[in-house]
Amino acid sequence: MKLSFKLAAALVALTLVLSLGATVSLLWTPLASAANAPASSGIGGDVSGWGLMAAALATALAALGAGFAVGKVGTAAIGALAEKPELFGRLLILVGLAEGIAIYGLIVSILILNRLG
């Protein structure tokens, strides 16, 4: 039991580090190029940087939430499936609904990026 908690904690820490690194690398280049670019008729560089950060955070936090939800629902589903194998279809739908959280975050991110572009 303790080993699985340590493994889960390590995976959460790895996910946080990777999402933070991806967010910083995504924002570093556009912010640096926006500072050196001349002013255009589009959205300003400062607003564009915040929009990119919002899109990255929407995707990253939705993925983290979906991972947490799938972990909890999947654990409960395996326990229920061990007792009643005929519940497979219903449990698969519940796990799919938990995965849908990540898709919602991706859609929000795409909408933010379309507004910026």
Question: Could you give the domains of the chain?
Answer: 58-117 (1.20.20)
Q: Over 60: is that where the pLDDT of 89 sits?
A: yes
Does the global pTM surpass 0.85? no
Q: What is the pLDDT of residues 15-58, one digit of tens each?
A: 777 777 777 776 666 555 555 655 554 566 677 888 888 898 99
DSSP 50-97: HHHHHHHHHHHHHHHHHHHHHHHHHHHHHHHHHH-GGGHHHHHHHHHH
